Amino acid sequence: MDKLRMDNNPVYSLLLEFDNIFPDVIPEKLPKDLGIRHEIDLMAGTKYCVTLQWPLPQDQVEVIDSFFAKRQTSGYVCESISPHSSTIFCVKKVTSGWRIVHTFDKLNDATIPAQTPIPRKDMVLDKMSGSTIFSANDLTDGFHQILVCNLDIPLTAVSTPSECYGNG
């Protein structure tokens, strides 16, 4: 938020007004279970979605290990023995630090698209073709804030150079 304030970004006043919706840090615990959980519907015949973890530079390994150690302490993730596994890597943020990236390509390719009135990401991206002004709305630390149906938790497994984790 400080970066937005220093850049005189017009969005900054909205973030202040709705600061309870856009926290600087994610809550220490998973959200309260209200009986609504994300479900992942796989296409018929899908067996396993596996991508093997490739070697990463030591600085990325340290960032990833630290990220998951904090999330495991908070209950966002737990160790996993799932046969499903997606890889992880880091990219440098423009502002400083690293952004954790999960490669769920195989899982996404095997997932039946949600049938909701809310436009899907692929539909929004198609409509943006040729645009010159963009905005971004992202969950802090990605999907770790979203409760997933217990049967689908194994699908969310992520392999790191050190361990395999799934949603908590």
Record the tokens describing residue 114, joined without a space: 């949600």
With respect to residue 134, please indicate whether it lies within any of the assigned structural domains: no
The burial of 95, by beta-carbon neighbours within 10 Å (0-12 exposed, 13-18 middle, 19 or more buried), is given as exposed
pTM beyond 0.85: the answer is no
With respect to residue 69, please indicate whether it lies within any of the assigned structural domains: yes
With respect to residue 26, please indicate whether it lies within any of the assigned structural domains: no
* pLDDT value at residue 30: 77
* Whole-number Å distance between alpha carbons of 34 and 92: 36
* pLDDT value at residue 32: 83
| Dihedral angle, C-alpha 62, 67, 70, 76, nearest 10 ° | -150
Half-sphere exposure of 81 (CA within 13 A, CB side): 0
* pLDDT value at residue 144: 58
* pLDDT value at residue 44: 96
With respect to residue 135, please indicate whether it lies within any of the assigned structural domains: no
The burial of 8, by beta-carbon neighbours within 10 Å (0-12 exposed, 13-18 middle, 19 or more buried), is given as exposed
* pLDDT value at residue 136: 56
Half-sphere exposure of 18 (CA within 13 A, CB side): 6
Three-class SS state of 16: helix
Three-class SS state of 107: helix
Question: How many structural domains comprise the chain?
Answer: 1
Whether the Cβ atoms of residue 74 and residue 147 lie closer than 8 Å to each other = no
pLDDT in tens, the chain (168 residues): 566 666 777 777 877 888 777 666 767 777 788 888 989 999 999 999 999 899 999 999 999 999 999 888 888 888 999 999 999 999 998 878 898 888 999 999 999 987 777 777 777 778 777 776 665 555 555 555 678 899 999 999 999 999 998 876
Write the DSSP symbol of residue 140.
Answer: T
**Residue 145's domain is classified under what CATH number?**
3.10.10.10
With respect to residue 123, please indicate whether it lies within any of the assigned structural domains: no
Closest by CA position to 139, among listed 51, 10, 34, 23: 23
* pLDDT value at residue 1: 58
* pLDDT value at residue 62: 96
> Which range of residues forms the domain containing residue 75?
37-113+140-168
